Structure 1
Amino acid sequence: MNIKDIVNRDIVNLTNCESEPIHIPGSIQPHGFLLGIKKGDSRIEFCSANSAEYMGIGPEKVLGKDISEIFAEEQASRFLLYTSEEVIDTAKPFVFELNGTSFNTTVHQSGGNVIMELEPFPDGTLHLPNLYTQTRNFVSIMEKSSGLLDLCQEIADETRSITGYDRVMIYRFDEQYNGEVIAESRREDLVSFANQKYPHTDIPAQARELYIRNPLRMIADISYTPVPLLTIDDSAEKGNHSLDLSLSILRSVSPMHIEYLKNMGVGATLTISLLQNQKLWGLIACHHYAPKVLPHYTRLSALLQGHFLTSQIAVREVAEEYNIGEEVDKALVDALALLHETENFMEASHQSSSLLKLANASGAAIYYEGRLYTNGVVPSEAELLDLFRFLSNAYPNQTFETDNLSDVYPDAKGISKYAAGVVYHSMLSGENDGIIWLRQERIETINWAGNPDKAILPNEDGVRLSPRKSFELWMEIVKDKSAPWRKSEINAASSFSYALQKHINYRVIRTQEDQNRTLNEELRLANKELSNLNWISTHDLKEPLRKIQIFASKVLDREDPDLSVQVKDSVERMRFAAEKMQLLIEDILAYSKAGTMEKTFLLTDLNDVMRNVVSELQDTIDEKGATLHADKLPTLEIIPFQVHQLFVNLISNALKFIKTDERPDIRITTDVVDAADIPAEKTALGRYHAIAFHDNGIGFEAEYENRIFDIFQRLHPAHKYPGTGIGLAICKKIMENHAGFIGARSVFGEGSVFTIYFPVA
C-alpha cells in the first residue's frame, strides 16, 4: 500500500499572495490528530501523520481500515449513528476512549468526507461551562454599559477572565477592512495596543472569508511543526485528493501569518468572528505569549461571548444612531416650520441655526436664481460659486455626499478648512441652483501598528514575501477629510431639500396663478367688449345699412329718368356695397355664435338633418341642375342647429364653386376610420365617423389645404364667386365644438373632397 501526503507546497510570492489557498493546506496543528472517512461509509480515507503519538498506531495501519477496527465496536457504532444525523451538533463533541485516554472529537462535513478532529482532554474532564453564570454576567454587563465601546471593553475583560489569555482585543473593521483596536484587556506589563490601526493587508480577503465561514480559530503554539495529512496513493483514481479544512479547528495556518505572529512576539492565539449581516464587522483577538491549548468547552464559552457581543452590536449602533437622529429630526422640524412660515425663506436662512443642525454641518449655502444665501462657516462667494458650478455639472439633477471632497473636486484642498465634506442637492429651478451642507476639515492622527505602506515586504531574495517586522507606533496625519456623514443626517438633508424644492415650485405656481388671474380678468374684459361689438353688429350697424339700401333703391326707382348714367352707377355701387357689408356682418355674427352659444347635444339622425338641408337649398339645386347622392348617415350626439349649418355651408360651396357650363355633381360618403388615418391631426385618438363631401368643382391648389379654413381666407375673386371667406372657418369651429376635425384635399380644376370627422361614441 502506497501512502502519500496532500500537503499544499505552493510557494507564496509577490504575485499570488492574495490568492493563497489557505483552506487546503494539507496539514494540521499537532495538538490533536485528524481522521477522514467517506460520507455514508466507515472506511478511513485520510489520517494525520501524528496518529501514533495519540493512538499508538501509525497511519499505515489506520488508512483503509474500518473505524471499528481502530476503536471499540460499541464506540464505532455510536459514532456512525452520531454522524448519520442530518445536522451534527458541533457544540457537543463525540467522546472516544482509546488506551485509557478520552478524546473530544469535533465532526464536520467537507464535501463528500466526514472529518474527525480528536483532541485529548487536558486533565481528563469535560470542563463543562456554567452557562447560567456566564449569561447572568453578560446581562449585568449589558445593563451597566452605556454605549457600544463600553460594552466591548466589558466583553474583552470577561473573555480574558474565561480564557486566561495574556491579551484580549476587540478589533473593528472600517469599509476598507483596515482594523482598529477599540477595546483591550491585558496583562499589566504588556504595552497597550488600544486605538491602534492595522492595515487591511494584515488579514487578506481569503482569510476574511474563512472567518465568516468558521467563527472560531485557535493556534495553540506559533512555533508548531505542521503535521501532514496522508491518504492512500491509488494511481487508478485520478481525483483531487485535497481536503477543504475551512471548518477545521486543527487546520494548519499560512506560513505568512505564522511569520507575522512571530514578528509580534505572540506564542498562541484565539480568534472569534463578529458578524453583522453576513459581513465581518470585527474580531475578538486573544494573544498569549507562550503556547496555550484551550479546551473545547472553554473555547465554546469564549465563542458565546462573541455571540453575546454580536447580538448587541446592531442594537447599540442603532441606539446611538437613534439618539443622533432625534436631534437631527428636531432640527429638521424647526427648519421646515421656518420654511413654511417665512415668506422669504432664502433671506431667513442667514439666521437659521436649525438649517445647520439638521445635518450637523458647520456651514450651508443655497444658490437660487443667481443669488447666494449662506449660513455658518463657508468659503468665499467666488469659491462657493465655483463649487456649485462643478457639482451642478458633475451631478445634474442628483444628490451627492462625501467626507473627502478633494477626491472628486480638484480645488477642494484650498477650501478644506470650510468644506472638506459636503452634502449636495441640485434644484430644478435654474442653472447651477442647489443647496450644500458643508463640514470642516477634521485633522486626524491615526496610530498605525507599524507603517501600513510596509505591511508586506519582499524577502532578501526579492521573491518570497515577508510580513513587516516592526509594530512600533507609526502615526499618520490625515487632512482634507471631514467627519463622515451619518445616515440620519443625509436623510434629513434630503427631506429638507425636497421640501425646499416643493416650496420653490409652490411659489412659482402661485406667481403663475397670479399672472393667469390677471390675464383672465383682461380676457373677461376683452370678451365683454367683443360682446358689445356683437351687439353693435347685430343692431346698431344693421339699421343704417338697411336705410342705405332702402334710400338707394328709392333713388333708382323714383328719380331714374332724371339721373345721369354716372349717378345711377354710383348709387348702384353704393347699394351693392351695403348688401355686401350686411352679409359680412351676418357671417361674423354666425362665426361668433358658433363659439359662444350654449352647446346642447342631442342624439340625432344625420339623415334627417341632410333632408332638411336639401329642402332648404332645393331652389339653388334646381337652378344649377345639380345632382346629389348621399350614403346612409349615422345617428350621433350632436348640436343639431350647428351641424345643419355645417352641411349647408359645405353643400353651398359645392354648388357655388362650379366650372362654367357644368352641372354640379355632389356625392356624400360615410366610413369609420382610426385616428391614424386622419391626416395632420396628431391629437386625434380612437375611432371616428368620416363623412366626405365630394364635388366636381373648380378645386384649389394643394398648398391651400390647411389655410382654406382660416377666417376671411378667399382663393377666388369676389365678383366671380361671391362670399365673405368665413363659411369654412365656421365649419372648423363647429367641428371643434364636437371634438372632431375637418380636412380638405383637392386637385385644381377637377374638384374637391371635404371630410368631417365625428368621434365614435
Structure 2
Amino acid sequence: MNITDIVNRDIVNLTNCESEPIHIPGSIQPHGFLLGLKGQNQVIDFCSANSAEFILLSPEMLLGKSLTEIFDKNQADNFIVYSIENQIDPAKPFVFTLNDIPYNTTVHQSGDTLILELEPFPDGTLDLPNLYSQTKNFVSSMERQSYLPELCADIADQTRNITGYDRVMIYRFDAEYNGEVIAESKREDLESFSGQKYPHTDIPAQARELYIKNQLRMIADINYQPVPILTLNSVGDKDNKSLDLSLSILRSVSPIHVEYLKNMGVGATLTISLLQNNKLWGLIACHHYSPKVLPHYTRLSALLQGHFLTSQIAVREVAEEFEISVSVDKALLDSLELLHENENFIEENFESPSLLKLANATGFVIYHKGKLYKNGNVPSNEELVPLLKFLSENYQNRGLHTEQLIDIYPQGESLSKFAAGIIYHSIAAGTPDGILWLRAERRETINWAGNPHKAVIHNEEGVARLSPRKSFELWLEEVKDKSAAWRKSELGSSSNFAYSIQKHINLRYVRSQENKNRLLNDELKAANKELANLNWISTHDLKEPLRKIQIFASKILDREQPDISAQVKDSVERMRFAAEKMQLLIEDILSYSKAGNMEKVYETVDLNLILQKVLEELNDNIDEKKALITSAELPALSVIPFQIHQLFVNLLSNAIKFSKEEKNPAIVIDVQIVTGNQILKERTEANALLPFYAVSFQDNGIGFEKEYESRIFDVFQRLHPANKYPGTGIGLAICKKIMENHGGYITADSEPGEGSRFTLYFPFENEG
C-alpha cells in the first residue's frame, strides 16, 4: 500500500504571500478527523493521520475501504440517504457512533470528493441553542438601538454570552480593506481594542475570499500541530493530489496567521463573516486566551448572531444616510427656489447658506465669465483660478468628487486648509466656468494596532517576506490633506444644483438675446420687404423696358433702310440679343426665388401625366434634334405639380441641349427603389433604412468632369461656353431647390464624352 500525504510545503514569502494556497494546506486541526469519499461506493480516498486517536483505526486500515466496512450497515445506509446532495444541511450534522462515542459529522462536496469532518462529543449532548431566547434578545436590541454602532455593541455582548470567549469584536472594513474595531465586549482585565485599526495586510486577499465562501472559521488551539491528510497513490500516478478545503471546519491555518495570533497572545479564535452584496463588510472576531473548542451547535448560534447583524447593516446605514439626505434635500429645495425666483441669482444670492448645506460643504465657489463668486471659507482668487482651469481642462465632460485633492492636483497642497476635498461640475463647456463645493482638511489621528508599515521584514539572507507584526502596541498616525468623505445624498444634491445652474445660465443668455433677436427680426422684415419690392421691379419695371428694347431693335433691323450701315445693324443685333439674355436671366432668377418662397400645395399626381405634358411642351426641340426619349412606368407621388413639371422640363431641356453634334440625343428615364445608405455615404441626413424612389434621367450627351458633380447645382455655375450652349446657369439650382421642397435629393453622375445621369430621390412618405 503506497500511502502519501498531500501537505502543501510551499515556502511563504513576500513574492507569493498574496497567492498563498491557503485553501489546499493538505492538513487539518487535531480536534477532529477527516475522511474523503469518492465514487458511488463511497470508498475512502483521503484520511487524516489522526484517525486512530479517535476511532482506533489507522489510515492504513481506512484508506481504500468503503463506509460499510468501517461503520455498521444501518449507519452507512442512513448516511447514504443523508449525503444525497440536496439533503445535506450544515445545521444538522450527521451523527456517526463508534465505540459508544458519537461524532458530529459535517459534510460538504469538494470537487468529486465528499468530505466528512468528524468531531466527538463523548457526553452525547447536542447542546442545542435556545433560538427563541436568542431571537428575542436580538429583536429587543434592534428596537432599542437606532444606530449601527450601538446595535453592534449589543451583538458583541450577546455573542460573548453565547460562546464564552474572552473578547468579541465587531470589525468593519473600509474601501481598502483596512479594518476598524467598531464594537467590543471583553473581560474586564483585558486592554480594549475598540477604535483601533488594522492594516489590510493583516488579512490578505485570498483569505478574504475564503471568508466569503465559508462564513464561520474556528481555530481551537493556536499551538496545535497540523495533522497531515493522507491518500493512496496508485502505481503510475504522476500528479500530486490536493484537496480544496475552502468549506472545511477543520482546515489547517496559514503559518503566517498562526504567527500573527501568537504575537497577539491569543490562544483560540472564532471568526464570523459579515457580508453585504456578496462582499466582505466586516467580521465578528472572537478571541480566547487559552485553547477553546466550541461545540457545533454553539458555533451555529454564534453564526446566527452574524446573520442577525448582517440583516440590519444595510437598513441602519440607509437610515443614517436618510437623516442626512433629509437635511440636504431641504437645502437643495431652498437653493432652487432662490434660483428660480431671481434672474440675477449668481450675483445676488451666491452667499446663501443653503448652498453650503446642500452638500455639507465648508466653502462654495461659482466661476462665471471670468469672475469668482465665493461663499464660506475658500482660498484666494490667485489659488482658485488655476485650480478651476485645471479642472475644466481635465474634467470638462464629467463631474469630479474627491476627499484628497492633492492626489489629482499635487500643486494644491496649500489649499488643504480650505479645499482638501472638492465636488466640481463644469457649467460651460470649453471655458473655465464651473461650480465648486469645498471641504476643509479634517486632520485625523488613526489608532493603529501596531505599526502597519512593519509588515515586511528581511531575514538573515536579506530576503523580504511578509511577517506578522510583533508589536500591537498603539501606534498613532496623523492623516493630513484629506476631508471627510462625500455622501451619496450630498453628491446627488450638488449634481442636481449644478444642472439647474447650467439651465439658469442658458436661460439668462437666451433672455439677453431676445432684444437683439427682436431688432434683428425687424431688420429682416424690412430687408424682406425691400426684396419683395425688388421682385416687383424685376417683374414689371425691368421686363417692360427690355421688351421695348427688343421691339425697337427688331423694327430697325426689319426696315432695311439703305442709310443704316452694317456696323450699326451689328450693334443693334447685339443690343437685341443682350436684352433677350437679360430677360431670360430675370425670369430664371424669379423662378429660383419662387421655388423656395411660394406656398407649397401638394397633390397626389401620376408622374407619367406630368412627363407627357412636358414632352408635348418640348415637342419642337425634340423634333429639331431628333431626340429619342424612353421612360419606365413612373409612380404616383404627393408633389407640387407645377414644380415637378418645371423640374422635368429643366432636366430634359439640358439633356437635349448638351448633346453631341454627331449623335441624336437618346434619353432614358428609369425608376428604382433604394434605401438611404445607397444615395450618398456622406449624406448623413438621409436615414440609412428609409426607402426612396430613384427617378433617373440618363443621356448620351457631352458630359462633364467628375469634380463638377456637386458644384453643378450651384447658382450661376456654367461648364460650357455661352455662345455654343446658351443658358443662365440657374436651371439646375432650381432643380435642387425643388427636390429640397419635396424632402428629397438630386445627384449627378457624368464623365466627359460619356453622357450624364441625373437622379431624383423622392422619399416614400411622398408616395400617393
RMSD (CA atoms): 4.2
TM-score by length of 1: 0.85
1:17-74: per-residue Cα shift (whole Å, max 9, x none)? Answer: 3333323333333333333433533544444343343334444444444445544444
Q: Which amino acid aligns with 1:289?
A: Y
* Residues 168 and 39 of structure 1: CA distance in aligned 2, closer, same or farther (over 3 Å): farther
1:281-306: per-residue Cα shift (whole Å, max 9, x none)? Answer: 11111111222222222222111111
In structure 2, the residue matched to 1:491 is: 492
Give 1:512 shift. 6.3
In structure 2, the residue matched to 1:328 is: 328
Aligned to 2:324, the other structure's residue is in SS state helix
Q: How does 1:260-659 map to 2 (within 5 A)?
A: 260-348=260-348, 350-459=350-459, 462=462, 466-508=467-509, 518-540=519-541, 588-602=589-603, 626-632=625-631, 634=634, 637=637, 639-642=640-643
Between the aligned partners of 1:27 and 1:393, the Cα distance in structure 2 is 58
Between the aligned partners of 2:91 and 2:334, the Cα distance in structure 1 is 54
Between the aligned partners of 2:112 and 2:611, the Cα distance in structure 1 is 92
Give 1:221 shift. 2.1
Between the aligned partners of 1:316 and 1:618, the Cα distance in structure 2 is 91
1:469-508: per-residue Cα shift (whole Å, max 9, x none)? Answer: 2111000001111111222222223333333334444555
Question: Does the CA-based 8 Å contact 1:359-1:493 persist in structure 2?
Answer: yes
Give 1:260 shift. 1.6
Give 1:255 shift. 2.4
Between the aligned partners of 1:45 and 1:715, the Cα distance in structure 2 is 95
* Residues 253 and 524 of structure 1: CA distance in aligned 2, closer, same or farther (over 3 Å): same
Question: Does the CA-based 8 Å contact 1:122-1:295 persist in structure 2?
Answer: no
Question: Does the CA-based 8 Å contact 2:30-2:50 persist in structure 1?
Answer: yes
* Residues 161 and 646 of structure 1: CA distance in aligned 2, closer, same or farther (over 3 Å): closer
* Residues 425 and 709 of structure 1: CA distance in aligned 2, closer, same or farther (over 3 Å): closer
1:594-626: per-residue Cα shift (whole Å, max 9, x none)? Answer: 44444444455666656656666777888xx54
Aligned to 1:411, the other structure's residue is in SS state helix
* Residues 172 and 564 of structure 1: CA distance in aligned 2, closer, same or farther (over 3 Å): closer
Q: How does 1:78-227 map to 2 (within 5 A)?
A: 78-84=78-84, 86-121=86-121, 123-227=123-227
- Greater shift, 295-304 or 26-35, is seen at 26-35
* Residues 364 and 563 of structure 1: CA distance in aligned 2, closer, same or farther (over 3 Å): same
Between the aligned partners of 2:574 and 2:115, the Cα distance in structure 1 is 123
Q: Given the alignment of the two structures, is residue 759 of structure 1 paired with residue 762 of structure 2, yes or no?
A: yes
Between the aligned partners of 2:568 and 2:627, the Cα distance in structure 1 is 44
1:355-390: per-residue Cα shift (whole Å, max 9, x none)? Answer: 322222222333344333333222222322222222
Question: Does the CA-based 8 Å contact 1:44-1:66 persist in structure 2?
Answer: yes
Question: Does the CA-based 8 Å contact 1:397-1:427 persist in structure 2?
Answer: no
Question: Does the CA-based 8 Å contact 1:349-1:373 persist in structure 2?
Answer: no
Give 1:403 shift. 1.2
Q: How does 1:36-75 map to 2 (within 5 A)?
A: 36-38=36-38, 40-75=40-75
Between the aligned partners of 1:270 and 1:14, the Cα distance in structure 2 is 27
Between the aligned partners of 1:693 and 1:706, the Cα distance in structure 2 is 18
Aligned to 2:453, the other structure's residue is in SS state helix
Unaligned runs of 5+ in 1: none
User: Which of 741, 745, 748 is the aligned partner of 2:746?
Assistant: 741
Q: Which amino acid aligns with 1:671?
A: D
Give 1:407 shift. 1.6
* Residues 122 and 431 of structure 1: CA distance in aligned 2, closer, same or farther (over 3 Å): farther
Between the aligned partners of 1:107 and 1:706, the Cα distance in structure 2 is 81
Q: Which amino acid aligns with 1:282?
A: G
Aligned to 1:155, the other structure's residue is in SS state helix
Between the aligned partners of 1:113 and 1:731, the Cα distance in structure 2 is 83
Between the aligned partners of 2:423 and 2:369, the Cα distance in structure 1 is 20
Question: Does the CA-based 8 Å contact 1:459-1:466 persist in structure 2?
Answer: no
Between the aligned partners of 2:11 and 2:150, the Cα distance in structure 1 is 43
Aligned to 1:176, the other structure's residue is in SS state coil
In structure 1, the residue matched to 2:697 is: 691
Aligned to 1:467, the other structure's residue is in SS state coil
- Greater shift, 421-430 or 471-480, is seen at 421-430
Give 1:415 shift. 0.8
1:177-236: per-residue Cα shift (whole Å, max 9, x none)? Answer: 111111011111111111001111212222222222222222222222333334446545
Between the aligned partners of 2:382 and 2:595, the Cα distance in structure 1 is 61
- Greater shift, 30-39 or 632-641, is seen at 632-641
1:530-580: per-residue Cα shift (whole Å, max 9, x none)? Answer: 222333344455666677888899999999899999999999998888777
Identity of aligned residues (%): 67
Aligned to 1:483, the other structure's residue is in SS state coil
Between the aligned partners of 2:115 and 2:109, the Cα distance in structure 1 is 6
Question: Does the CA-based 8 Å contact 1:33-1:51 persist in structure 2?
Answer: yes
Question: Does the CA-based 8 Å contact 2:698-2:755 persist in structure 1?
Answer: no
1:377-430: per-residue Cα shift (whole Å, max 9, x none)? Answer: 222223222222222333341222221121221212121111111222334533
- Greater shift, 441-450 or 599-608, is seen at 599-608
- Greater shift, 108-117 or 228-237, is seen at 228-237
- Greater shift, 105-114 or 699-708, is seen at 699-708
Query: What is the aligned length?
Result: 753
Q: Which amino acid aligns with 1:522?
A: E
Between the aligned partners of 1:255 and 1:54, the Cα distance in structure 2 is 25
Unaligned runs of 5+ in 2: none
* Residues 343 and 164 of structure 1: CA distance in aligned 2, closer, same or farther (over 3 Å): same
Between the aligned partners of 1:228 and 1:272, the Cα distance in structure 2 is 26
* Residues 70 and 428 of structure 1: CA distance in aligned 2, closer, same or farther (over 3 Å): same
Aligned to 1:86, the other structure's residue is in SS state helix
Question: Does the CA-based 8 Å contact 1:167-1:288 persist in structure 2?
Answer: yes
Question: Does the CA-based 8 Å contact 2:455-2:466 persist in structure 1?
Answer: no
* Residues 702 and 123 of structure 1: CA distance in aligned 2, closer, same or farther (over 3 Å): closer
Q: Which amino acid aligns with 1:38?
A: K
* Residues 529 and 179 of structure 1: CA distance in aligned 2, closer, same or farther (over 3 Å): same
Between the aligned partners of 1:36 and 1:733, the Cα distance in structure 2 is 87
Q: Which amino acid aligns with 1:490?
A: L
Aligned to 1:343, the other structure's residue is in SS state coil
* Residues 143 and 755 of structure 1: CA distance in aligned 2, closer, same or farther (over 3 Å): closer
Between the aligned partners of 1:651 and 1:543, the Cα distance in structure 2 is 30
1:500-538: per-residue Cα shift (whole Å, max 9, x none)? Answer: 334444555566676555544433322222222333344
Q: Rg bigger for which structure?
A: 1
* Residues 448 and 122 of structure 1: CA distance in aligned 2, closer, same or farther (over 3 Å): farther
Between the aligned partners of 1:99 and 1:235, the Cα distance in structure 2 is 35
In structure 1, the residue matched to 2:670 is: 671
Question: Does the CA-based 8 Å contact 2:148-2:313 persist in structure 1?
Answer: yes
Q: Which amino acid aligns with 1:485?
A: W
Between the aligned partners of 1:706 and 1:272, the Cα distance in structure 2 is 76
Question: Does the CA-based 8 Å contact 1:368-1:429 persist in structure 2?
Answer: no
1:293-338: per-residue Cα shift (whole Å, max 9, x none)? Answer: 2222222211111111111111111221222222222323333333
* Residues 492 and 552 of structure 1: CA distance in aligned 2, closer, same or farther (over 3 Å): same
Give 1:129 shift. 1.3
